Structure 1
Amino acid sequence: MSHGRIIGATVTTPDLDAALGDYQGHLGLRLVERGTVSEALANSWGTPGSAGSAYATLQPVSGHPCLLRLVEQPVPADFVPVRTYGWAAYEITVQDVFGWPAKLAGSGFDLVGPPRAIEGLPYFVAMQMLGRGREMIYLNEVACDTPTSDLPRAASPVDHVFIVILATPDADATCAWYRDRLRLDIGGTYEIEYTMINHAFGLPPSHITRLAMMQKGRMPIVEVDTYPDAATVRPGPADRLPAGNALVTLEVDDLDALDLPLIAPLLVLGGKRTATVRGPAGELIELVELGGT
């Protein structure tokens, strides 16, 4: 347990039972809890319209303390993945990534990027898929650590979210915000031919995207991607969670020590102080304080 660690990732989905069939039945995650979003929690996110929405939380069978939360809500008709600012994707460490396309046949996941090594990034092999809520999920088999970070090997066929990808108009300003406001470290920076982004925006295959990694020590946390000028704010009702990849939950040492404007006053959940903030690209970041009762 340490400052900055990813302990949760939330997606919105139009059919919770069907999504559970995908994440629990096909990916093999373990159901932890089902319920409805409380008014206090919805208000803490700044999304009062989410109160009463059905949700479920899941955990990898490895037991890693990172929960995937599914919240039921309609998908905006005009929501197109990989074209808006905010949380763009969640990366999950897995075993045997090349075997996963066949295992997901018949599920609600839509394979949009088959497993392949990325030139200039020899540290892992990833595949990309969309869920029923048009959330982007990367299944990522780690090959080795990077020069600046340690990448987790999966302890179960599908393990935990270990990197979250943020789409932003200005990577430098965003990295500075995470450094100064959340006390994270700026890690490695890369320039790659990012197939997913180039395809989404109709750019030539040779177009280069600059990305940077925010981490704590050698623990990777947020990949910050600079999106083209054609990117937009994510569509959907202002009082509901963002569509798709909706919210990321991080552990922090001390909420009082962070220079952050909270969306709503602190609340206590499970004996731990919790609050949510908006990041520079409009992303929702739920912060849970270490320790507690």
Structure 2
Amino acid sequence: MGAPLYSIPGTTVPAATTPAPADAPAVAPAPRTVAEVMAGSQVQAVLDELDTELVGLAPVKARIRDIAALLVIDRLRLGQGLTTTSPTLHMAFTGRPGTGKTTVALRMATLLHRLGYVRRDHLVAVTRDDLVGSYIGHTGPKTREVLKKAMGGVLFIDEAYTLYRPENERDYGQEAIEILLQTMENQRDDLVVILAGYGNRMDTFFHSNPGLRSRIAHHLDFPDYSPPELLQIALRLLHGQHYRFDAAAEGAFAEYIARRITQPHFANARSVRNALDRARLRQASRLFADAERVLDRDALTTITADDIRASRVFAAST
């Protein structure tokens, strides 16, 4: 993406001290309408991608649109000389695994870049192991190296609550938190941090550290997918891999979802993807066993009900 046509928040453009040469290119005027900002930044394309790429998540998508609206209006205010400082953009994404948090973080990085709030369309995704060392003097360099890689873009910390382990007095996570807090405050014009994890554990994490809570401007809660939404996700994944369910398999997979969703460690879309991977493995084994069979396109792309019902989810209930 080329240089923006208008000032980036938090920067000051010095007044000209000498006349511009007669042949100097004209400076594009600052946008004055929402439509001009949206067209110039291509933000609408990011919002459209969220709508088409992610099933469900209506409250999350609505909140992303609210944030986009805030930034677009802030851009127009800047053009009228009404603001000179960047809004706080650090965020918390709460919800169970497989609810789209990482995907939304990637799209948020693109949105912030297109509006000029970060220099790069760049997301660095890490966990505690990437930040916290195993001995004295190890954590600081690890954390600072991650922050250096993420600078100018978005840092996504999954299971962020694992940085805080009060039961272990010798844990080095607190050092990583302190460095993170300092950077979130002092470099907030050049880095957006998104902290993610289970809702109840993130609440405990924030209550334990008011400094972190005060730096988070936007809290987005990602709901679990409904069974029909999970089936829709499965059909999209299969289509993208050039597979399909036969008529009986689709019903079997809907039953699989209804059973699996009540079991421990269910991870929404992640569990659906894993189940499809296992079904593909069974389909491949079934076709491989019939070595003389001519395998046409239909055979190679079809998942059957037997490929689904061989799952332990069904065996456990019989």
Q: With the length of structure 2 as denominator, give the TM-score of the two structures.
A: 0.27
More helix by share: 2
Larger Rg: 2
The structure showing larger relative contact order (alpha-carbon pairs under 8 Å, at least 6 residues apart) is: 1
TM-score, with length taken from structure 1 = 0.28
